[in-house]
Structure 1
Amino acid sequence: MTCQESAGSADLSKMAYQTVQQEYLQIPIVTRAYTTACVLTTAAVQLELITPFQLYFNPDLILKNYQVWRLITNFLFFGPVGFNFLFNMIFLYRYCRMLEEGSFRGRTADFVFMFLFGGVLMTIFGTFVSLVFLGQAFTIMLVYVWSRRNPNVRMNFFGLLNFQAPFLPWVLMGFSLLLGNSIIVDLLGIAVGHVYYFLEDVFPNQLGGGRWLRTPTILKMLFDTPEEDANYNPLPEERPGGFAWGEGQRLGG
Structure 2
Amino acid sequence: MEVEQFVRSIPVITRTIIAASIVLSAAVTYEMVTPLNLIYSPTLVFQEKQYWRLLTSLLYFDKLSINCLFHLHFLYMVSRQLEEHYYLRDSIRYIWTLLRGAALVLLLASYLHIPFPSGPMVMVILYLWSRRYPDERMALYFAFVVGAPYLPLIMLFLSYNMSGGDIQYLQGELGAVVIGHCLWYVSDVLPKIIGFDPTALPTFVTAVFR
C-alpha separation in 1, matches of 2:204 and 2:54: 21
Which SS does the other structure have where 2:186 is aligned?
Answer: helix
Report the counterpart of residue 145 of structure 1 in structure 2.
Answer: 128
Cα deviation digits, residues 153-212 of structure 1 (max 9, x gap):
245545886653112101111223344343123212212111110100011112x35311
**What do you get for the CA RMSD once the two structures are aligned?**
2.1
Q: With structure 1 as the length reference, what TM-score do the two structures score?
A: 0.75
Report the counterpart of residue 174 of structure 2 in structure 1.
Answer: 187
Aligned residues: 206
C-alpha separation in 2, matches of 1:177 and 1:131: 14
TM-superposed deviation, 1:138: 0.9
Report the counterpart of residue 131 of structure 1 in structure 2.
Answer: 114
Which SS does the other structure have where 2:104 is aligned?
Answer: helix
Structure 2: segments with no counterpart, 5+ residues: none
TM-superposed deviation, 1:151: 1.3
In the TM superposition, 1:44-193 aligns within 5 A as 44-155=27-138, 157=140, 163-179=146-162, 180-181=164-165, 182-193=169-180
Kept in 2: contact 1:74–1:133 (CA 8 A): yes
Kept in 1: contact 2:101–2:180 (CA 8 A): yes
Change (3 A) 1:87 1:162: closer
Kept in 2: contact 1:126–1:188 (CA 8 A): no
C-alpha separation in 1, matches of 2:25 and 2:143: 31
Change (3 A) 1:87 1:131: same
Q: What amino acid is aligned across from residue 179 of structure 2 in structure 1? A: V
Report the counterpart of residue 231 of structure 1 in structure 2.
Answer: none
C-alpha separation in 2, matches of 1:96 and 1:159: 19
1:31 aligns with 2:33: no
Which among 211, 214, 218 is matched to residue 200 of structure 2?
Answer: 214
TM-superposed deviation, 1:64: 1.6
C-alpha separation in 1, matches of 2:73 and 2:140: 14
Q: Which has the larger radius of gyration?
A: 1
TM-superposed deviation, 1:90: 0.6
TM-superposed deviation, 1:99: 0.7
Q: What amino acid is aligned across from residue 23 of structure 1 in structure 2? A: F
Which among 171, 192, 195 is matched to residue 205 of structure 1?
Answer: 192
Change (3 A) 1:204 1:160: same
**Larger relative helix fraction:** 2
Change (3 A) 1:216 1:124: farther
Aligned-pair identity (%):
29
Kept in 1: contact 2:112–2:172 (CA 8 A): no
Structure 1: segments with no counterpart, 5+ residues: 1-15, 226-253
TM-superposed deviation, 1:93: 0.9
Q: With structure 2 as the length reference, what TM-score do the two structures score?
A: 0.89
TM-superposed deviation, 1:79: 1.1
Cα deviation digits, residues 84-138 of structure 1 (max 9, x gap):
1111111111111111011111110000001110011111121111111111111
